[in-house]
Structure 1
């Protein structure tokens, strides 16, 4: 519990120093929570065992009290029968004495059982308090751990973004934009130059084709005139 408390008190300088030295504080907290759950299971088993003992001894105590009361009632009944002459007085006295001896023994046992039941009841109350404390602690630490995990993720992401922003200042951004603009302008000029060259080449080719066509027509016309004797 103390280790977990130190880990979760993020605002304290000593805790921050301790966490910085840990390889993975979140994993340590998770292991601590697993240990607490094991302690909770053990406490629950102990609580169940002590409760069972308390229930058993309470029943035995009630049975002994009933037996004590039964011996008293039987003794009274014997004395009444002796008074009515239904049983000899000496025999009744003998039975009553035996009952009283057994009743005295039960009275001692009852006193001891009362103390034992009272002690068991205190142990049950203490164990229940411990179990509830462990449950409450686990719930608290789990909630704080979930919050801590979320804070770690946000902190990590923020740190990365800030680091990128630190490495990229405004001057470097402007410089990159200027270089990009210059490169685009060069590419555009080069594309325009290729276009003009292609246009010029196509024009010359057309001129050559027309010249060839004209030459062919003149030759064919002269040949036709020759054949006709013109």
Structure 2
């Protein structure tokens, strides 16, 4: 992975981390996109410098080729003119340029390969940023959906905690009902026991409370007393 890809990935990771904590995802995503654009622009400037160096090396290489060819032609002209010594000197100069040309050729090939690779990385970064821009709305929607889901679970948790209050109310209601039943039982028991008095007297009082015996019953009672001599 090139230095530019690493820079882009680090920025992308930072943006993802920010998304996890942000309140307004659209604002943070717009800032992340601006940061990516800035990173790509800086990367392009660096690549432009590399391209300029590669072009300069290529120009020097072409110049050395031309010089080599020129001195070879001069050597040929000197040899045709019968000046062999001058031809040798011209060939020596051509050799010097050929040596420089060989060194520059190696440098240029290396620089060109590096520039081609950097160009690919710039294109890749641009594609990744374009994809990021296309998916911005989707990422925002996902973030909001996750927040809604979180809110739902928190609401459920609060409702679950409120069950404690419901349980307390149910227990208090059951206790009140029990006390009501106990009060009814106490009343019933009080009526049965008569408050601790003579049960027989209570019974006769109850008979008296019924409005008194009938005339027929009184006549029979008088006859019973006469028979027993208790009248």
The offset of 1:123, in angstroms, is: 1.6
Which residue of 1 is the match for residue 23 of structure 2?
24
Q: Would you say the 8 A contact 1:4–1:29 is kept in 2?
A: no
Matched, 1:128 2:119: yes
Residue deviations 1:96-129, cap 9 Å, x none? 2221221121111101100111111012112101
TM-score (norm 1): 0.52
- What are the equivalent positions in structure 2 for 1:12-161 lying under 5 Å apart? 20=20, 22-24=21-23, 26=25, 27-82=27-82, 92-150=83-141
Counterpart position of 1:178? none
State the TM-score, normalizing by the size of structure 2.
0.52
Give the aligned CA root-mean-square deviation in angstroms: 3.4
Quickly say closer, same or farther: Cα 1:79–1:100, change in 2 above 3 A: same
Aligned to 1:4: 12
Question: Cα 1:3–1:46, aligned 2, differ >3 Å: closer, same or farther?
Answer: closer
Rg larger in structure: 2
Contact 2:43 2:122 in 1 (8 A): yes
Query: May I ask how many residue pairs the two structures share in their alignment?
Result: 146
Shift of residue 66 of structure 1? 1.4
CA contact (8 A) 2:57 2:108 kept: yes
Give SS of 1:55's match: helix
Q: Judge conservation of contact 1:43–1:131 (CA < 8 Å) in 2.
A: yes
Task: Give the gaps of 5 or more residues in structure 1.
Answer: 9-14, 83-91, 161-230
Query: CA separation in 1, counterparts of 2:124 and 2:24?
Result: 24
Distance, in Å, in 2 between the alignment partners of 1:79 and 1:35 is: 66
Structure 2 unaligned regions, length at least 5: 1-8, 152-231
Q: Which moved more, 1:47-56 or 1:132-141?
A: 47-56
Q: 1:7 Cα shift?
A: 6.8
Q: 1:55 to 1:65 in 2, by over 3 A?
A: same
